[in-house]
Every structure is written in C-alpha cells, then in structure tokens.
C-alpha cells in the first residue's frame, strides 16, 4: 500500500485484537495470528503502529498469563518488526488486583525513519525523548510515563486511553473493551436490548471523559472490542419471518429455557434455536454472503453517536464469534449471532485528518486481518493510512500516554 519508506509521508496502522483465544491454545493459534499480522505489516509498511489488545492472558488468565511475555518478546524480536527501533508496550497483567485488572494491552511501534519522538513524563511534567524498547506491566499505576485512572464501577467499560501527538497533529488513541451480551434470550426480548442500552451509557461516559476540560480537546480514534451486537429481535424476525415459534420452559423454574423456530412445512425443520449461549441458525452463509453487509441495517448501536463518532465503510464479515478450531478459519461458532464487535471508530475531527480533500482514498484500508485463517474467536480489525506527501514526518513529535480503566463484575 504505502510502498517504500520515504521522507515524504507517514503511514499509520491501527489494529484492534481480542487475543483471549491465543493464550488458551498458544501452540496452534499464536503462530498463525502472528503470521497474518506480519503479512499486514509487510503489505502496508507503516511508520507507526498501534496495536490494541483485549483479554490479554486469555479467558482463564490465572492459568494463561504466563504465555503473554513470550508472545510480546516474539513480537518485538521478529524480523517483521526489526525496522521499528522504538516500542512501548503497556500490559495490564496484575490479575490478583481484581479491583483494577482489565486484561488490556496496548503496543506502539515507531519506525526507524521517524525522528524526534517525545513522550510525556507525568511525574516530571515534561516530555522526554523516546528511545529503545520498553515494556510496562503489572502495576501500571506506578509508571510515571502513563496516567492511569479508574472509572466509576457503575459504568462498565474497560478503557485504555492514549494521547498521542503525532503527524503535526494531536490525537487520542483509545483502547476500549465493553461488556458482552450475557444471554441470547435476554437480548432477544426487546429492541434495542437491555445490553445495548447499557453499552450506550458506558460509551457515552467514555466519550464525555476523553473530551472533558482537563486536557485540550483533540481528534480521537477509539479501537477495541466494543461488543456491539445486531438488534437481536429484528434480526430474528427477519431470518424467521415465515417460521413458527416454539417456547420451551425449564421444568423447575418455568423460565424460558430455549426458543425454537420451525418451518411451517418441509417436515417442520428447525430454522433457528436460541438458548442462553446458543444461537444455531440453519444457514451461516447469510452472515458471509456479500460480507454479511445485508445485515448492517441491524447494526444500530453506533447510530446514537452519529454526531460524535465516524467509521469508514464496513466491507468485511462480522468479526465475532469465529470457531477456535484451527481448521475452521471461516466458520462461526453457534454461541452468538455474528456481529461486528471489533471496530475502529473516530471523531469527526479525526475523520477530517484522514479524509482530507487531497487524500488518496486508495491509501485507506479498513478490513479484517486473516479472513481465511483461524485468529481465535475474534477476527482482527485494522485501519491503515498509507504514506502521502501531505503528512511529513521529519518534524518533532510529542506523545502523552493516559490510561483509564474499570472492571465490572456481574
């Protein structure tokens, strides 16, 4: 995309990845994941890379956190990253402190061609030149190069906020992980679902926080696992418009245990079966045909923020939930209705930075990484802006890192 590194422009690559699966089965999944990531690096040849990870250490982090260090060391020492002579890695690995633990990780890589990069030291209250590669983990609160703050617990997001002054512009990079739909049955009850409403509240709080009066307002990019879901009620009505619904209740509680939709003829074949953690639809192709974009009309959670958040056109299939079987790279699991959970969003001012009148839109890419390969239960989402003559990188750049986190337990 960007071609060879020149003094004429700066290419950036923003990547979000829920990496929980990688630490459950590192022997099989990590190799393929890294290969696909390195291929994107080779294709776009960015000068600055921001990799936002969620569920670092895996879903069973008490057992799997030991695999994180080897993953990061492999990333830093690989041939694909050898021209990135400066790096900052922030890992929240301190799972013993449940009050603060978020399992977020943010990794930033700077190409050797970029000069005069400075990072803010909050204790010294001054910028310091960035040199070498450094990893920060465990108790991030004690790191002077990072400001960490905990959101109120009655809000649900896990947030890592980075303020980066780059490309002669200042902008925020925000690593965010919002909560999932706990039950398909509850999500199906109302339109919009109760989960959607609470995510809306949480995301609104985050946006208010990063645009408050404490710091100068700057363009911002939010990328992470938003856990945005399709409007379940409307999707099911569309997929099962001619089917007959059967409700099955638990014998002991009389609560709805499963909902089954059957064809009215054709031997009453089951079209869709829903349980708390089951969404088994008869034809997964509907989520893959034309990249599933016919279902985008049910992707409504972002519409509430249309005046504050923008997104490039989605032209890739739903990013979750994929099979974790290494031989099933394009197969969805039957646990949830597929949805575009992993996204890269931007403020209107950030959009203006990447979509200037002189911008060659061929240099912009918004896509999934590893579409045909098992990357875990989430596909990796990336945004790339190739180098152009309008983004000179020979000037002095200053970085200021901020992290705000919360963990909510149901």
pTM for the full predicted model: 0.91
Residue ranges of E strands in 167-214 = 169-177
Pick left, alpha or beta for residue 292 (phi over 0 → left; psi -120 to 50 → alpha; otherwise beta): left
| 12-229+291-405 is classed CATH 3.90.180.10 | no
CB atoms under 10 Å from CB of 247, counted, come to: 9
- Is residue 47 within 8 A of residue 85, CB to CB? The reply is no
| Cβ within 8 Å of residue 307, ≥6 positions away | 348
Model confidence over 102-129: pLDDT tens digits? 888 999 999 999 887 777 776 787 777 8
Joined together, the tokens standing for residue 375 give 């990357």
Max Cα-Cα span within the chain? 74
**b (16+ CB within 10 A) / e for 95-110:** beeeebbbbbbbbbbb
pLDDT attached to residue 75: 95
> Tens digit of pLDDT for each residue in 54-112?
999 998 888 888 899 999 999 999 999 999 999 999 898 888 887 778 888 999 999 99
User: In the prediction, which pLDDT does 381 show?
Assistant: 97
DSSP category for residue 339: B
Where would I find the H helices in 12-163? 26-44, 61-64, 66-77
Q: Which pLDDT does position 27 carry in this prediction?
A: 87
330 or 145, higher pLDDT: 330
| 28-54 residue pLDDT tens | 899 999 999 999 999 999 998 999 999
In which band, very low, low, confident or very high, does the pLDDT at 398 lie, cut at 50, 70 and 90?
low
Query: Per-residue pLDDT averaged across 339-367, rounded?
Result: 87
Is-contact 14 396, C-beta < 8 A?
no
Residue 153 predicted with pLDDT over 70: no
pLDDT band at 140 (very low <50, low <70, confident <90, very high): confident
Closest CA to 34 of 395, 331, 308, 376: 376
Distance CA 102, CA 40 (A): 27
Average pLDDT in the 140-147 region?
Answer: 76
pLDDT at 403 over 80: no
State the Cα–Cα distance between residues 106 and 224, nearest whole angstrom.
10
Backbone angles phi, psi at 104, to 5 degrees: -95, 150
Residue 66: partners with Cβ closer than 8 Å, 6 or more residues away: none
Residue closest to 399 by CA, chosen among 176, 90, 94: 90
- DSSP line for 96-128: T-TTT----EEEEEE-TT---EEEEETTTTEEE
**What's phi and psi for 198, nearest 5 deg?**
-75, -35
From residue 40, alpha-carbon distances to 20, 22, 24 in Å are: 21, 18, 24
Surface-to-core class of residue 79, CB atoms within 10 Å of its CB (0-12 exposed, 13-18 middle, 19+ buried)? exposed
Predicted confidence at residue 7, as pLDDT, reads 37
């Amino acid at each position: 995309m960007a071609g060879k590194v020149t003094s004429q422009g700066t290419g950036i690559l923003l990547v979000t990845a829920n990496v929980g699966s990688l630490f459950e089965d590192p022997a099989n999944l990590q190799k393929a994941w890294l290969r696909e990531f390195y291929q994107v690096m080779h294709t776009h040849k960015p000068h600055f890379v921001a990799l936002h990870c969620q569920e670092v250490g895996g879903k069973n982090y008490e057992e799997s956190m030991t695999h994180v260090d080897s993953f990061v060391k492999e990333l830093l020492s690989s041939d694909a990253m050898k021209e990135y002579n400066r790096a900052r890695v922030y890992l929240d690995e301190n799972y013993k402190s449940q009050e603060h633990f978020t399992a977020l990780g943010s990794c930033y890589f700077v190409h050797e061609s970029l000069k005069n990069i400075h990072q803010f030291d909050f204790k010294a209250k001054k910028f310091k030149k960035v040199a070498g590669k450094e990893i920060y983990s465990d108790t991030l609160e004690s790191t002077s190069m990072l400001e960490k703050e905990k959101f109120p617990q009655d809000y649900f997001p896990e947030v890592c906020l980075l303020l980066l002054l780059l490309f002669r512009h200042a902008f925020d990079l925000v690593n965010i992980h919002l909560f999932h739909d706990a039950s398909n049955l509850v999500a199906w009850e109302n339109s919009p679902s109760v989960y959607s409403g609470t995510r809306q509240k949480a995301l609104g709080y985050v946006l208010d926080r990063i645009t408050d009066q404490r710091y100068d307002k700057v363009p911002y990019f939010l990328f992470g696992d938003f856990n945005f879901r399709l409007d379940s009620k409307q999707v099911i009505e569309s997929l099962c418009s001619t089917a007959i619904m059967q409700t099955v209740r638990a014998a002991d509680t009389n609560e709805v245990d499963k909902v089954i939709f059957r064809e009215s003829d054709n031997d009453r074949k089951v079209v869709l079966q829903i349980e708390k953690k089951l969404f088994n639809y008869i034809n997964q192709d509907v989520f893959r045909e034309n990249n599933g974009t016919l279902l985008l009309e049910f992707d409504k959670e972002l519409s509430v923020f249309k005046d504050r958040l923008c997104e490039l056109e989605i032209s890739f299939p739903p990013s979750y939930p994929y099979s974790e079987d290494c031989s099933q790279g394009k197969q969805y699991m039957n646990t949830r209705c597929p949805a575009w959970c992993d996204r890269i969003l931007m403020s209107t001012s950030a959009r203006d930075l990447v979509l200037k009148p002189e911008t060659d839109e061929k240099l912009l890419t918004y896509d999934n990484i590893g579409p045909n390969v098992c990357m875990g239960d989430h596909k990796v989402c990336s945004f790339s802006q190739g180098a152009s003559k309008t983004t000179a990188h020979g000037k002095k750049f200053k970085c200021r890192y901020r992290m705000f986190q919360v963990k909510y337990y149901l």
